[in-house]
Amino acid sequence: KKNLAMVNGGLSTRISGLETAEAPVLVFVAGWPDNHDSWEYVAPRFSGSYKIVTLTMPGYSTDADEPSLPRWGFSFNQIVEMMHISVTKVTSKPFVLVGHDWGSFISMLYLQKHSETVSKFIALDVGLMDVHEVNIKSAFVTVIYQATLAAAFVLTRLRLVVLAAALVALYPWKWIGPCPYETKVPSGVKRWSKSWDHLTRDLLMCFIYFRFWHDLLTRSFKLPTSLDVPTLFLFGRNKRARFHSNKFLRDLEACEDSSWQALDCGHFMQASDPDLVATAMEAFLAER
């Protein structure tokens, strides 16, 4: 409870689409290093039939409602409760939840606590993992790049911004990066760490990697192991690291109202292949 004392507001929120109180709600949660623009190619497809709500990780938006980041970042439990505060301000009815990257992971943690508020869940490229199905190559790449980004955050907090920036810039992303085959990324991702004026803020966005390993190793939260709502999982084949397990796919296949699709794309599918993503979402949402 003490851990949640700092949470007095929600995540940065933008609302578009239908304005009536009766309109169904579609909540999009972006990941790293992304912002509201993550959904710029997908969300408009649904603006005529849903109230669209986009959320970002704390510290990822420049909007006026952006919460200030504590010195060592928000915990995952805090982010989940901030997300709950945000959506309850918009609707009291079950909504459709869509997450990408860390937005998908946080959404799965959210479902562990507030599944009754969600009617359907759509996860993009990050699903449930299983420690018994570890791929050595994928795990190596994941640990190395995440440790690098976590270190960049710590260095930034120690006011060693230039060193943190050099660490990120000199990392061999094409050789040991998780997603070296991207053809198009959201505009927010494209701008990340490209401006000296915003460099400190951009590097502080890496807090999510520091907090993940900190919270996991201190057992502040448990990895989600199952999902209790109808789920659609879309993932890209063209990556060096994989963010889901085969068991997760088998579990989805065993559920009559859940499914998965492998797309011929990379990690940022909402930017590179928005039509494929939107079409799959529409078909899933049309199912009863």
Tell me the mean pLDDT in the region 154-181.
95
Reading phi first (left if > 0) and then psi (alpha if -120 to 50, else beta), residue 166 is in alpha
Burial of 154 (0-12, 13-18, 19+ CB in 10 A): middle
76-132 residue pLDDT tens:
999 999 999 999 999 999 999 999 999 999 999 999 999 999 999 999 999 999 988
How far is Cα 122 from Cα 255, in angstroms, rounded to an integer? 14
Q: How far is CA 136 from CA 5, 37, 195, in A?
A: 39, 34, 35
Residue 225: is its pLDDT beyond 50?
yes
Domain ranges of the chain: 2-133+223-286, 136-215
Residue 259: is its pLDDT beyond 50?
yes
261-279 residue pLDDT tens:
999 999 999 999 999 999 9
49-88 residue pLDDT tens:
999 999 999 999 988 888 889 999 999 999 999 999 999 9
Task: Tell me how far the alpha carbon of residue 62 is from its chain's centroid.
Answer: 18
For residue 93, give both structure tokens: 């009815």
Predicted local confidence at residue 1, as pLDDT: 34
Residue 2: is its pLDDT beyond 70?
no
Answer whether 101's CB lies under 8 Å from 126's CB.
yes
Strand 51-55 relative to strand 118-124: parallel, antiparallel, unpaired?
Answer: unpaired
- CATH class of the structural domain 2-133+223-286: alpha beta
Q: DSSP class of residue 172?
A: -
Residue 213: is its pLDDT beyond 60?
yes
Using pLDDT thresholds of 50, 70 and 90, give the confidence band for residue 176. Answer: very high
Angle at 184 between CA 180 and CA 187, to 5 degrees: 115
6-15 residue pLDDT tens:
445 789 999 9
Q: Which residue has the higher pLDDT, 66 or 255?
A: 255
Task: Tell me how far the alpha carbon of residue 153 is from its chain's centroid.
Answer: 18
